[in-house]
Amino acid sequence: MPGTEGFSDFFYAAPDGLRLHVRVYGEANSGHWPVVCLPGLTRNARDFHELAQHLSTGSNPRKVIAFDYRGRGQSAYDPDVSHYNVGVEAGDILAGLSALGIEEAAFIGTSRGGLIIHVLGALRPGVLKAIVLNDIGPVIEPAGLAHIQSYLERAPKPKTFAEVVNVQRHVHGQDFPALTDADWARMVGALYRETDQGLLPDFDPKLVDTVASLDLSQPLPALWPQFDALAAIPLLTVRGANSRLLSTQTLDEMRKRHLGTETITVTGQGHAPFLETGSLPGDIATFLDRAERHKENPKTRSGPEVTAAV
């Protein structure tokens, strides 16, 4: 049963035995798909707390499962850094769903989480009933990845909460002028954990090595074949208007290839939009309800393009 904060903790074994963690919000609701939330590269289940509360307690409440990948949050760190890749992580997600008895669900993927959804479409397409891609697509812009490399490699080590907030504002403020003080504080609370040495990012430091080793002088592989395989699945793509990772050209091509694609552009935010801000929780809930109504014939959906302000 959910605890006082609206969720319960669930631990399970990955295929290689590593102990992994998920948060479970709400209860299964007959007739409504559960929702699986997959965070970004160095992020964790806490990123989805407010959105998960909304989806699990709304007019059509859904069970929501938010994952901590290996090496993040409450999941165990992997002694083999090569296992920090989307293929292994996709296998971990399937193992977690099996342990929870979930055969199909709607998926929300932020950044790396969206890449994992592409892999899941190749491994087990039947598990995907609807998809929300948060600022990610089949093409990753090198400039956006270079920005991620830069701030991960050169990240300062602030000790107090206020110092961390100031650092995050300095690094990301230009891309996120719409965020409030409360938004920045919530971001820091989700990304960092308290230790005897002060606040530390809540992920295995070796993750930085996996990004630093990327050669951005070479074109990054595109995932168009994997994306095309998702064409029959209802899709909502959220893009930050200031995103450096998902270009408007890629978004336009996604709409051409997936005729039912719905899109939301979030003004005043970059990579990746905070899904708990503004109208986004309601927009996502409405998309999921609409996808269920048209699940027998997803091509009948209109695929609107919307601009959302925070």
> Domains (ranges, CATH) in the chain?
7-141+221-308 (3.40.50.1820)
Residue in 243, 205, 186, 145 with CA at minimum distance from that of residue 48: 186
* pLDDT on residue 243: 98
* pLDDT on residue 301: 47
Please answer whether residues 84 and 204 qualify as being in contact, where contact means their C-beta atoms are separated by less than 8 angstroms.
yes
* pLDDT on residue 4: 62
Per-residue pLDDT of the chain (310 residues; tens, 9 = 90+): 565 689 999 999 999 999 999 999 999 988 899 999 999 999 999 999 999 999 999 889 999 999 999 999 999 999 999 999 999 999 999 999 999 999 999 999 999 999 999 999 999 999 999 999 999 999 999 888 888 888 787 766 777 899 999 999 999 999 999 999 999 999 999 999 988 877 889 999 999 888 888 777 777 889 999 999 999 999 999 999 999 999 999 999 999 999 989 999 999 999 999 999 999 999 999 999 999 988 755 454 445 666 665 5
Cα separations in angstroms, 273 against 183, 198, 270? 11, 27, 6
DSSP 77: P
* pLDDT on residue 2: 60
Spatial separation of the C-alpha atoms in residues 27 and 156, rounded to whole Å: 41
Spatial separation of the C-alpha atoms in residues 178 and 182, rounded to whole Å: 11
